[in-house]
Chain A
Amino acid sequence: MDTSEDILQQASPDLVRGSETARPAKAARLSPTFISWLQAGPMMLVFLAFFLIPLVFVVIVSFWDYNEYQLLPAFSGRGYTDTFEGCIAQLPDLCTIAKTYLKTLKFCLLVWAITLFIGFWVAYFLAFHIKSKTWQMGLSLLCTIPFWTSNVIRMIAWIPLLGRNGLVNSGLIKTGLINQPVEWLLFSEFSVVLALVHLFTFFMVVPIFNSMVRIDKSLIEAAYDAGATGFQTLVNVIIPLTKPGIVIGSIFVITIVMGDFITIGVMGGQQIAAAGKIIETRVNALQFPAAAANAVILLVITFMIITMMSRIVDIKKEL
């Protein structure tokens, strides 16, 4: 792994030589700071134009007023107050919005834990048990299979498997384990978690695998030589060194699940609301400020989770 200074040293002479106007004498005076800005600049501009500025607009619009068919650019907290309508009155019962967010968080936590467990062991297998690079690549690509289908196809595909008259139910009935079809296999929280895990385990596998491959094999040999058991090696060597991968994978999964409403909608039979779903219905009702307000709330919550995670592991330092 090169440090940034190494890269700079390699790159700056090239940069200077490559620029047709700059004369070598002048080039020597280009300060390193300027060069590093030059390198980071393009990405920063893209980030600014396509992420930060739209985000600022979302925050601004969330404080506008609205009616049936247009935005009214006047300061108003209506987008937020409508969202939490009746929440105080209903105490100690939770209002819909709070319930929805709790449900989303619950999915998030479950999916995160399951994908982490599965993803970790899949990555472990790929990194330490598959010796050839080709096989590693091939098997990693296999993990992308869930993405080869559209959501509609996916929804249709689960029905024959998990449905009332589906494969699983008829199999269970034939073996005599049950005599009535099990209803909770489809259009339930179970099926939502199943589909999310099926989709997003890949996002855990890749960064964790990436961290594991970079572990110096001599460290593992050293642990073995020092008399560590396999389990001790795992806990004291491998897990600490794959932490960055775990955190990056977790950030992927958590942000995607927090914002997901399509999979949750499809697999929950549209009966389970998610935080993203609230935004979608608001947009469909042309209530853009309310939608923006909900987007801001979701963003803040997701950001808080990510901040907590990066407190646990300092990614910048680890990378």
Chain B
Amino acid sequence: MTETTRKTGVSRRTLLKSTAGLAGLAAGSGAITGFPYVMSAEPKVLRYLGTAVNEGDDISKQCLKDTGIKIEYITATTDDVTKRVMTQPNSFDVLDTEYFSLKKLVPSGNILALDSKKIKEFDNITPVFTKGETPGGKKIGNQGTAPWKVLYLEGKDSKTFSKTPTEFVTLIPTVYNADTLGIRPDLIKRPISTWAELLNPEFKGKASILNIPSIGIMDAAMVVEATGKYKYADKGNMTKEEIDLTMKVMTEAKKAGQFRAFWKDFNESVNLMASGETVIQSMWSPAVTKVRSMGIACTFQPLKEGYRSWASGFCVSKGVSGAKLDWAYEFVNWFLSGYAGAYLNRQGYYSAVLSTAKANMEPYEWAYWMEGKPAEKDIKAPDGSLLEKAGAVRDGGSYEDRMGGVACWNAVMDENDYMVRKWNEFIAA
């Protein structure tokens, strides 16, 4: 026993020493590069916080090749990204987040706007963001937190959104899309053309909606409006009465057994659809692609009331300055320079600068994804797997038609707090 005690004494001391040494190493090195002895040039590393939407390994590899900037991805869910910005602003450098979060993020003072003069391609960003219209001049629905409402700040450190263009941009647009309902055409066996079908008793126990309040409430509002029960002044900014009414309709449907389940993440939605547990539900474009790649029929069904849209973009943490800020600009500029845009377009998303993305895509790819034309050759995903056979046409058609058909945007409402409470009651009902 005595001996063991002595031994522990020694080992404890060694342990302490080694831990202290490790801690010192970790603290001293700052960024772990894998080659701690190369201290001559500081490695360019950016910690990139975002949802998995545009965090492709191919993108970070190509970026390292072109600019020498090493991107370290930090992946989290939409809600967790917001939480992290609020509570740990120093744990990331570049933030990739959705426009609707800005109403929460900007007042916190934890993020820095970027200077549009330093963004090479800024004037070529699609007018969807700057003017709220498609390149072809179609007006886009502006209900909800539409990007052009929150694109500019009044001053460098201002917390107020500017109605007119300024050089202080909250988020440099990166990726966006028009979302609708996903369906299993093989199980439904008839055309679906309206959001109201989600509550059609024909699909009792076979429907689903997503359980992320900020997004789910928009889907619910599209459905309620489509059934003709109510017309909202602004779906993305409801009054308490409107929230109550929307949730009442949804709760009644839920109690009648309309919904099979609610889903929260990508994989859940894919599973529900692929297993036939649901035949109609809220869905994201890549999830539909995933179900199809399993060899199961699944359509991202365009509906007559229009699409619910979302958009995300880049800004930096307030802790970023000096050389790091320069790298951040370099990275954002690289991101808009075409490679990443083409990569996102090939997944069925849309890139912010169309001209550079087009230059990085084959003409037949561009025609299929962006112009709504039948595919001349087989369409492949960025990883090379087959997505569509030659002759197929994209669900919903061209960029003009899809983005032109947007009715509302994901939103954070003035009554957000109340809405979240009511949404939870609906989930618990």
Contact = CB atoms under 8 A, between A and B. Distances in A.
A285 B420 contact: yes
Contacts of B86: 69-70, 286
Most-contacted residue by chain B among A18, A99, A103, A156 (CB, 10 A): A18
A221 B280 CA distance: 65
B263 interface: yes
Interface in B60-110: 79-80, 82-83, 86, 103-105, 107-108
A73 interface: no
B417 interface: yes
B103 A160 contact: no
A164 interface: yes
Interface string A296-317: 0000000000000000000000
Contacts of A287: 417, 420
Nearest to B416: A68
B424 A96 contact: yes
Given A159-B277, A269-B260, A284-B80, 18 more contacts: A18-B6, A18-B9, A68-B107, A69-B107, A96-B428, A96-B429, A103-B428, A156-B267, A160-B275, A165-B275, A187-B260, A269-B259, A270-B264, A271-B427, A272-B428, A277-B424, A281-B213, A285-B420
Contacts of A15: 5
A96 B205 CA distance: 23
B157 interface: no
A31 B90 CA distance: 50
A140 interface: no
B2 A17 contact: yes
A14 B6 CA distance: 11
A93 to B, nearest CB: 12
Nearest to B428: A273
B58 interface: no
B342 interface: no
B340 interface: no
27 contacts: A14-B2, A17-B2, A17-B5, A18-B5, A18-B6, A20-B6, A20-B9, A69-B104, A85-B421, A152-B267, A156-B267, A163-B275, A163-B276, A163-B277, A164-B277, A186-B277, A187-B277, A269-B261, A269-B262, A270-B211, A273-B427, A278-B428, A284-B83, A285-B213, A285-B417, A285-B420, A286-B104
A82 interface: yes
A81 to B, nearest CB: 12
A136 interface: no
B202 interface: no
Given A155-B268, A271-B261, A273-B424, A69 B105 contact: yes
A72 interface: no
B425 interface: yes
B271 interface: yes
A272 B5 CA distance: 54
B254 interface: yes
A283 interface: yes
Contacts, number: 100
A164 B276 contact: yes
B82 A187 contact: no
Interface of A: 14-15, 17-18, 20, 68-70, 82, 85, 96, 99-100, 103, 152, 155-156, 159-160, 163-165, 183, 186-187, 265, 269-273, 277-278, 281, 283-287
Nearest to B5: A18
B205 A283 contact: no
B271 A156 contact: yes
B294 interface: no
B1 interface: yes
Nearest to A267: B261
A284 B6 CA distance: 50
B260 A82 contact: no
Contacts of A187: 260-261, 277
Contacts of A273: 424, 427-428
Contacts of A271: 254, 259, 261-262, 427
Interface in B103-131: 103-105, 107-108
Most-contacted residue by chain A among B5, B103, B213 (CB, 10 A): B5
Interface string B264-282: 1001100100011100000
Contacts of A286: 82-83, 86, 104
Contacts of A281: 213, 420, 424
Closest 9 CB pairs of A and B: A269-B261, A273-B428, A18-B5, A270-B262, A284-B79, A96-B425, A14-B1, A285-B420, A69-B108
Contacts of B264: 265, 270
Given A96-B425, A100-B428, A270 B416 contact: no
Most-contacted residue by chain B among A152, A155, A271, A272 (CB, 10 A): A271
Nearest to A152: B267
Interface string B1-12: 110011001000
Contacts of B103: 68
A287 B83 CA distance: 10
Nearest to B204: A183
A269 B107 CA distance: 35
Nearest to A284: B79
Contacts of A164: 275-277
